[in-house]
Amino acid sequence: MRIVLVGPPGAGKGTQAAFLAKNLSIPHISTGDLFRANISQGTDLGKQAKAFMDAGNLVPDEVTIGMAKDRMAQSDAENGFLLDGFPRNVSQAEALDVALKADDVKLDAVLDLEVPEDEVVKRIAGRRICRKDSSHVFHVTYSKPKTEGVCDVCGGELYQREDDSEDTVRKRLEVYHTQTEPIIDYYRTQGLVVTISALGKVDEVTARAMEALKGDK
């Protein structure tokens, strides 16, 4: 299957993408991974992306699209893929359609993870990260440390990242509503959108998604 995964920040896209890709035996292709791979490998596209990023500028659509096209052309994506974080806007979605059409393939579904805005804010603004080891993550509601403000694993101080503050989260949501959400309507006109609730336990959401995709085949 060829799937695009969409949803607001805090919807659990990365987590669900990993599980769904494994269950469907297709590669999980995320924008972040594309950038890191191209930059670390020193590809032409990676060098272009790094130059824009080092200057504090957004990477142009054509560079991101080029990376995505190269990745989708690899042998492990021959029978499908799951795109996470791409396309990010309608112009990227249109470019993706053109690229797929050139290879005589098409998307099977666009999975829309739906989460109420207040829940998104609660999920992200409640995160607390360990200063000693950022892989140790807690939550003031869903995964409380035994001692408030102290990492259970190493005793480091827990803090809220600036990116996780409520004001920043709401700004990120505004960007999502303005730039990314319109692709849902774009794909809905093609009859590709499958919307599911992303509330509940991770395995419950995965099962819900798998069932929805099965019904969409």
Q: Which residues are catalytic?
A: 13, 88, 127, 161, 172
The DSSP code sequence of the chain is -EEEEE--TTS-HHHHHHHHHHHHT--EEEHHHHHHHHHHHT-HHHHHHHHHHHTT-PPPHHHHHHHHHHHHTSGGGTT-EEEES---SHHHHHHHHHHHHHTT----EEEEEE--HHHHHHHHHTEEEESS-TT-EEETTTB--SBTTB-TTT-PBEE--GGGSHHHHHHHHHHIIIIITHHHHHHHTTT-EEEEE--S-HHHHHHHHHHHHHHH-
Residues β-bridged to residue 197: 114
